[in-house]
Amino acid sequence: MTSGLIVKLTMSTCLSTGLLCGVMVTPSAAITPHIVNDPQGNPFITLRFFDVGDGFYGDNAQSTWNLSDLHKSQIIDATQYWSELIKLVSGKNPAILNVGTVIGPYGAAASSHNSTMQDGAPTTVQAALTNQYYTNLSYGSHGYIMVADKVGTMDWSEAPYTPSHIALTSETSLGTVLIHEIGHALGIGANAYYIDDDEEGAPILAFTNGFNRWSAHLRDDNDKAAAPNQIILCNICAVPPEELGLDTFDVRKDQAYFTGTHVSEVLNGAMKGLPMRVATDYGPIDSPLFSHIELKNGLMSHQYYRNYSTLMEAELAALQDIGYTIDRRNFYGNSVYGDGQIIINNNPYFARNAEGTAYIANTYNTATLGLGLHVYGSHNTITQSADLLSAGAGGGGIRVDGEGNNLIIASDVRVYADGANGRGIMFAYGKDHTLTHRGDVQALGENGIAVSFDFGHNARGDATGYRGSYILELEPSLQDQYNTIYQELNGALVSNFDLTGRVAGRQAAIFMSENAYVDQINVMQGASITGNIISDYAERDEDNNLRLTQLRFGLMADSQGRVTSQTDENFRISYADDIIGKNISLQFSGGKSVLTGNHDLHEVIVNKGTILAGSGEYTIANGRYFTNHGKLYSSLIGGAITVNGDYTQSQDGRMQFAFNNEKQISSLIVTGRSDITGEIAFAPVQGFYQNGFTITSDQWLQANAINGGFTDAFTALASPTLSATVSANSPLSFTIRLGRQNDAYSRYADNINGYGVGLAIDAAARQGTASLHDVIAAMDFSAINGSDIRSALPLLSGEAYASATGVLANASGATRSAVNNRLQQAFGGTASTAVSAMSFAPAAQPKAAASAIQAIAPEAISKDDLSRYTAWGSVYGSWASQSGDSNTARTKSTLGGFTTGIDAAVYDNWRLGVLAGYSRSTFKTGERSASGASDNYTLGAYSGTEWATAGGAIGLRAGLAYSWHNVEMSRSVAFADFSDKLSADYHAGTFQIFGEAGYKLNLDEHSLIEPYANIAYIHVRSDGFDEKGLNGAALSVRSGTMDTTLSTLGMRVSAGFDLGGFVSTARADLGWRHAYGDVTPAATAGFVGTSATFTSFGTSIARDAALIETGFDVQLNPATMLGLSYQGQFGSGLTQNSVNANLSVKF
């Protein structure tokens, strides 16, 4: 990398003689070895460090000074870099490299002779790493590294080696230099040498007889392959007369190149091969000849300026072509070397599988210096459409070089570089690039930078050449190239960066180095920025004007994410980090931006129609201004926007301040001069403000010197309930007063339930009730048209509890139905739902030839049947929907449970029994975000009889029952920015008494009909309770009752028939029910901690409803009956359906 002379002498002296180099072995007692392992833990290279006095390390060289621990660490790091790239073939490993020193300006060098004298032989180092034959060691090693104490006139950098895609220090890093030099020992180097100089001093060059692998891949200007003993023709070379007409390698145009299958695959037609040069920046004859890859600025080149600190993918491909096994896709996702292409890059970058044959999707790649995409060429338009995930040290997402490339990060694409010193997107050389970022870029590791604009430093040290935007410092010997090179640099590195995606970086979200100029950064709708925005660039133009980066917030993007000239009033962003850059012109062009942090800038401009809010400091350059044509809103209570510099506000500008209900304010502090006109406004922040609230202050604007005054003062209050006034006491002192009307909340109600809640809130607001402060504050700062309050009032009511009472009243019907069905069954001939029964007395056996009608309507009731005790059970399930109205919301409910009982014959023709039951009710009022359930436990008693008549029988059935309810309810109240989760557990009870009379008529021997009438009285009582909540919406619900009477007129009909030998029954019931008394349930409540109450009404019980029942029973055997039935109730807004399945077994 540095003095090529040392490498040339080492290689050509050993190889040109046709003999192996000396094999002197130095006693190793004092030599310090260090084994560098590959990632799998296999020994890769042993470094043998020679101090002064340790003997010869190579080519009769002994160390003349001792390497420091830092130097050794850097050499180890460079070797480690190679151990990760190259796949080791076990056998002869590790390779051994002697490391020694020399005094002089030679920099560093590394060498390894050919493993054999056969053509195509690898270096001895390569042979050791790939398990190939080699003849002997030299000085006990396969090669050596020499380190001089100087790099020209420069010392080595004292900074530790840090993996990075660009050089990070202005001095020469020994670690980076050694990556280059070890590359030569690995085999990057040709067997070409000086034969002699002619009498005029012109060099005579030729390839040696022992021809190595690298040389075999070389081609001349005319695409001719290199061969052993060829004479090399160059534009300054001499050719001895006796060699004329012999085989030559013609590079008089200096267009030699390296080619191979892997190199061609990577270059993809962009060039014939990797460029090799006779003449380089070092002189007219490079040394060692054809041993440096002259890709622009490349680490393996012999150019004075190199801003790569790792090998490019094409250089790795060259190593593959000379016989190394390298998984290139572990280090590069893709590379673009061509120019003028339109590319959609669907190549991802993830971790590799164990075989190194495929990516493991959505898994971070941890390779050191791994890179998802490298753009070497120019004037390409590239859309990145696949994820790039890197977490290795120094890893990156994308690096862009060349000129005029347009890079687009598609939506939803991730470009992550989360390893230490990772950079998501890097623009590292050239000019006139653009970046359109719509995806997600992050670098969250130590020193991570999401988007980097940075040429970096010169890997050889900035003293030998330094470049950047409008920056060019050349070696004196290269001054004639100044104009040519400057054409690559005389423009912004990136002219336009359009951001509608996410960027997040630990050290910086966006970084512009001291040598990288970005013209415009446009932050538009959808953008998210986490991390500092930094610009160290401070170059001036020919007129001594600072080259400014315009950082613009709030312009409108087109459909492709590119900036337009239109402002975007819907733009919103919050940014909490720092913007630092003396060349940054921070401009707010549309929408609303909320910034905190400390910002050090050239200037700030808030344009008309734009809001800049937040707090923090803005330090402005001398002679520049913080200029406000829009609205500057100091929005942090107790905080301030501080302008360190001069502030000016135009006629269109507004200065706005915040205050709270504790009379704290925000401020604007200007340390320089403040030139003001335009408006001043005051905005209360959300909180509870008592009627008549007043605040006075003269600390809104604090400035060192003030010129001018405000043309208007007002409040920026947009409230459906509060009103405000402002009065000026002096130029800087203002008083603000707030108040509300007596019906501020109830006036927005649009139903009875909401109006009652509104009245209670009106009273609480007047009284300043503390428990409702959050609710009232949310309403005060909700939609100005009152729509949020209108929708909130019903949510805050107790409607759900009232509706739950109605559900419990409806559920009582399951007990009545079970009792009536049992009593009808007990007296035979039932036309109702079958009930499971077990009788404990001898049963009368039916005749074998009994007809179907006898099974359902026997001619006489057996005395045995009447005397027995009977236990029975019924299982049921139902679901119902009760429509709402203008005041209430639809309630849906379910009921499932069982009823069981036991009865016996009493007197001559009566049965008396007791019952017990359990059921569970659920209910949901979706529009009120309420749902609940009740566990119901029931006890009761019943009795019934029948009197035979000529054509049938008259039946009487009656009962009473009491149900205990354990109710649980949960509600959500959410409106504007208020929310509360509420819950309650409470008890209720239902008492009912009921009776029915019916007249059974036998139509024929198979059918009967029974008209009937029944009545039921239901009393539901709910206990009082307090809800549990967090934010003030909890209710204290008072105890309440509901008294309802139900009467029903109807008719039952049934018919028996034989179904495949089974006695079967089909039956139906049709009735009309009317309700009296309380048909609309109600709940009285108040907010917890308040005295005012309000009554809320729930969904009504249908005043009139049609009842329908159908069923089908099958007598499976004389003792077993299976029944299935459907029941329905249909009324005004009511739909209730139930299904019952029953099995009756007699013993």
DSSP of 679-701: EEEEEEPSS---TTEEEEES-SE
Q: How far apart are CA 805 and CA 921, in angstroms?
A: 11
0.75 exceeded by the pTM?
yes
Q: Note the pLDDT of residue 562.
A: 98
Rounded Cα–Cα distance for residues 493 and 679 (Å): 41
User: How many CB atoms sit inside 10 A of residue 1026's CB?
Assistant: 14
Where on the phi/psi map is residue 30: left (φ > 0), alpha (ψ -120 to 50), or beta? alpha
Cβ–Cβ contacts within 10 Å for residue 530, how many? 16
Confidence (pLDDT) at 19: 25
Q: Give the DSSP H or E segment for 63.
A: none
- Residue ranges of alpha helices (H) inside 567-668 are none
User: For residue 1121, what pLDDT is reported?
Assistant: 67
Residue 846 is predicted with a pLDDT of 40
pLDDT score, position 1144: 54
Per-residue pLDDT at 839:
54
Burial of 453 (0-12, 13-18, 19+ CB in 10 A): buried
Would you state the structure tokens that stand for residue 609, as one six-digit string? 């129609």
Could you tell me which of 473, 468, 479, 482 has the C-alpha nearest to residue 515? 468
Per DSSP, which regions of 544-650 are E strands?
A: 549-553, 555-557, 563-567, 572-575, 579-588, 592-595, 598-606, 611-614, 616-620, 625-628, 631-634, 640-644, 646-649
Query: Is residue 993 packed enough to be buried (19+ CB in 10 Å), middle (13-18) or exposed (0-12)?
Result: middle
In terms of DSSP bridges, do strands 891-906 and 910-925 run parallel, antiparallel, or are they unpaired?
antiparallel
Tokens of 777: 């504050």
Q: What string of DSSP letters covers 399-415?
A: EE-SSS-EEEE-TT-EE
Taking Cα atoms as reference points, which of 63, 77, 83, 183 lies closest to residue 129?
83
> What per-residue confidence (pLDDT) applies to 853?
34
- Residue pair 400/426 in contact (Cβ under 8 Å)? The answer is yes
Q: Is the dihedral of CA 811, 814, 819, 824 positive or negative?
A: positive
Report the distance separating Cα 322 and Cα 122, nearest Å.
Answer: 8
Domain ranges of the chain: 4-186, 192-321, 597-740, 799-1145
pLDDT of residue 1145: 52
- Can you read off the two tokens belonging to residue 727? 């009065």
Peptide bond into 684 cis (omega under 30): no
Report the candidate in 1007, 1104, 1106, 1125 with the shortest Cα–Cα distance to residue 1050: 1106
The confidence score (pLDDT) of residue 865 equals 47
Sign of the CA dihedral 880, 884, 890, 891? negative
The dihedrals phi and psi of 346, each to the nearest 5 degrees, come to -95, 10
Distance of alpha carbon 1141 from alpha carbon 378, whole angstroms: 80
- Tokens for 871? 């236990």
**Which are the contacts of 438, defined by CB distance < 8 A and separation ≥ 6?**
408, 409, 410, 411, 413, 500, 501, 526, 561
Pairing state between β 733-740 and 693-697: antiparallel
Q: Which residues contact 187 (CB under 8 A, 6 or more apart)?
A: 112, 122, 123, 125, 126, 212, 213, 214, 319, 322, 323, 324
The stretches in the chain having pLDDT less than 50 are 1-29, 830-831, 842-867, 1146-1147
Which pLDDT belongs to residue 883? 86
Amino acid of residue 1089: G
Structure tokens at 968: 């649980």
Q: Which fold has domain 799-1145?
A: Lipocalin (2.40.128)
pLDDT given for residue 828 in this prediction? 66
> Alpha carbon of 428 to those of 482, 490, 514: distances in Å?
20, 15, 12
Q: Is the peptide bond before 94 cis (omega within 30 degrees of 0)?
A: yes
Q: Of all helices (H) and strands (E), which one includes residue 639?
A: none
Q: How far apart are CA 151 and CA 107, in angstroms?
A: 4
Task: Report pLDDT for 354.
Answer: 93
Report the alpha-carbon distance of residue 99 to residue 980 in Å, rounded.
Answer: 72
